[in-house]
């Protein structure tokens, strides 16, 4: 499940917000504006937007699942661009985005741009025939600044459509640096070291090594799917992961069974979990928001969760390398799989090729826009390698960006978000919840998921 759904799941619908824009006083020179249709010369601070000039007075509509307060910083990120070019970006955010976008597109009321959080939804929209191809600059920027896997997720049937916008890092383990230092525990750099550390912590009797929770209302089960995905990527690599997503490799396949076995030694291990809440079964009834709280009280040593979990720590928590809370990269398992990273993200998808729409779309694909967004938003990460990494003020954002921008990383998108909805947000959530609650064993969970796969 993507960050867009998780972080916005219970938020209220916000109305459309138009950013009032006007060409800034420094934006053009009257000496170059005498001919009809002439492109003004932007000057001063606005000169950086010259490539997007010539569309003053035009409006571009944008629709997404990003709502206030997160949408406030989003709109700040393009304010100078909008002021200087005179292009009004009329933004609307909705927590019903995933259901409303198909309705609008099929009803002939598509936005100019949509920020789509799932490759599956992008594929669905391309199937309507209403998605426009991107301008050359967008293609060039994606080729230059992103790990090649990102372009794959913005591509349908061999045609690239949508550039990535935001990203989140899932391959993290949250812990307390102060607690680790007090006990002489070292941050592991390999999976074997992590298991050895887990045994050491369990034997000490000072804490349980792991805590976890997969409760999330109607989306209960998604954290468990992430744990399985992390292992599949780390053991089998990108090709096995891709074939699994496509069901060329079934859940009952020996390679996926091996991942389940690794999971049983980790998060289904009675010696390791569930600190502060109970036994293994308590993971199924503990919310993912509450799962990490025992780290602060010393009852739990580690929690595997994504970068956006930073928002769940109490206000005032010192999140830093030597503070109360920090995170480390979830280590690899198979040495032949180079820097496995699982993540999620959102894609800017065009439903119009009008010049002003392409101007906005092009700007949003640049390192300049990514840096602008970083400067005004904490808890937001870009996988654009050209963005200014020094602009991050949040240490978790900076850590996440380090791995998300690595061109050599084995990056893959959340598997359940790419599987058919009946599986990825249906039977898999249910079966994994049943596995942790004890209602199903591994084989039964595998069979249930495979049986639900659409023919």
| Residue 6 in this model has a pLDDT that exceeds 80 | no
**So what's the pLDDT on residue 378?**
87
- Average of per-residue pLDDT values in the chain: 92
**So what's the pLDDT on residue 2?**
53
Under the banding of pLDDT at 50, 70 and 90, the label for residue 421 is confident
**So what's the pLDDT on residue 213?**
98
Q: What is the pLDDT of residues 223-267, one digit of tens each?
A: 999 999 999 999 999 999 999 999 999 999 999 999 999 999 999
Superfamily of structural domain 172-341+416-452? Periplasmic binding protein-like II (3.40.190.10)
> Domain spans of the chain?
3-169+343-412, 172-341+416-452
**So what's the pLDDT on residue 245?**
97
CB distance 188 to 331 below 8 Å: yes
**So what's the pLDDT on residue 196?**
98
CB-based contacts of 278, cutoff 8 Å, min separation 6: none
3-state secondary structure of 348: strand
| Residue 33 in this model has a pLDDT that exceeds 90 | no
Instruction: Report, as an integer, the average pLDDT of 61-75.
Output: 93
CA distance 1 to 225: 9
| Residue 12 in this model has a pLDDT that exceeds 60 | no
**So what's the pLDDT on residue 120?**
86
Under the banding of pLDDT at 50, 70 and 90, the label for residue 362 is very high
**So what's the pLDDT on residue 37?**
66
Question: Which of 23-37, 122-136, 301-315, 383-397 shows the lowest mean pLDDT across its residues?
Answer: 23-37
| Helix ranges restricted to H, 292-350 | 293-297
**So what's the pLDDT on residue 1?**
57
CA distance 169 to 339: 13
**So what's the pLDDT on residue 15?**
37
Q: What is the pLDDT of residues 378-411, one digit of tens each?
A: 889 999 999 999 999 999 999 999 999 999 999 9
319, 325, 323: which is closest to 392 by C-alpha?
319
Q: CA geometry: angle at 172 spanning 169 and 175, to 5°?
A: 140
Helix (H) / strand (E) element for 438: namely none
Q: What is the pLDDT of residues 102-120, one digit of tens each?
A: 999 999 999 999 999 888 8
Instruction: Report, as an integer, the average pLDDT of 436-455.
Output: 97
For the chain, percent of residues with pLDDT exceeding 90: 87
Superfamily of structural domain 3-169+343-412? Periplasmic binding protein-like II (3.40.190.10)
Q: What residues does 208 pair with on adjacent strands? A: 300
CA distance 32 to 15: 39
CA distance 113 to 151: 18
CA distance 277 to 304: 16
Count of all residues that appear for the chain in the document: 455
CA distance 404 to 318: 24
Q: Is 361 exposed, middle or buried (0-12, 13-18, 19+ CB in 10 A)?
A: buried
């Amino acid at each position: 499940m993507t960050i867009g759904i998780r972080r916005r799941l219970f938020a209220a619908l916000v109305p459309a917000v138009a950013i009032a824009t006007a060409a800034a006083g420094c934006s053009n020179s009257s000496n170059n504006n005498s001919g009809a249709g002439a492109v003004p010369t932007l000057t001063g601070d606005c000169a950086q937007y010259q490539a997007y000039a010539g569309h003053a007075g035009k409006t571009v509509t944008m629709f997404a699942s990003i709502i206030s307060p997160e949408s406030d910083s989003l709109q700040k990120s393009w304010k100078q661009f909008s002021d200087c070019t005179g292009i009004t970006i009329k933004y609307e955010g909705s927590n019903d985005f995933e259901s409303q976008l198909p309705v609008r597109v099929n009803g002939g009321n598509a936005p100019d741009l949509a920020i789509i959080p799932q490759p599956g939804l992008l594929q669905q929209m391309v199937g309507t025939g209403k998605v426009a191809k991107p301008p050359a600059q967008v293609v060039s920027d994606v080729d230059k600044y992103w790990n090649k896997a990102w372009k794959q997720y913005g591509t349908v049937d061999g045609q690239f459509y949508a550039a990535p916008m935001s990203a989140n890092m899932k391959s993290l383990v949250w812990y307390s640096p102060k607690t680790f230092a007090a006990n002489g525990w070292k941050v592991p750099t390999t999976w074997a070291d992590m298991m050895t550390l887990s045994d050491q912590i369990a034997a000490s009797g000072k804490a349980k090594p792991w805590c976890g929770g997969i409760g999330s209302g109607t989306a209960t089960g998604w954290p468990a799917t992430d744990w399985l995905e992390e292992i599949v990527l780390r053991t089998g690599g990108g090709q096995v992961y891709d074939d699994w997503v496509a069901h060329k490799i079934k859940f009952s396949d020996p390679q996926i069974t091996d991942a389940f076995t690794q999971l049983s030694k980790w998060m289904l291990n009675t010696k390791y979990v569930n600190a502060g809440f109970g036994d293994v079964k308590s993971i199924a009834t503990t919310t993912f928001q509450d799962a990490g709280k025992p780290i602060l009280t010393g009852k739990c040593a580690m929690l595997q969760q994504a970068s956006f979990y930073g928002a769940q720590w109490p206000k005032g928590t010192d999140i830093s390398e030597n503070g109360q809370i920090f995170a480390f990269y979830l280590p690899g398992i198979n040495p032949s799989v180079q820097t496995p990273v699982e993540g999620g993200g959102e894609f800017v998808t065009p439903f119009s090729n009008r010049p002003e729409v392409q101007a906005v779309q092009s700007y949003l694909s640049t390192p300049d826009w990514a840096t602008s967004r970083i400067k005004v938003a904490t808890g937001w990460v870009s996988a654009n390698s050209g963005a200014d990494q020094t602009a991050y003020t949040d240490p978790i954002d900076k850590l996440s960006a380090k791995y998300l921008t690595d061109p050599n990383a084995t990056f893959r998108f959340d598997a359940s978000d790419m599987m058919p909805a009946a599986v990825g947000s249906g039977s898999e959530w249910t079966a994994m919840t049943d596995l942790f609650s004890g209602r199903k064993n591994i084989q039964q969970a595998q069979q249930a998921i495979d049986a639900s796969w659409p023919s």
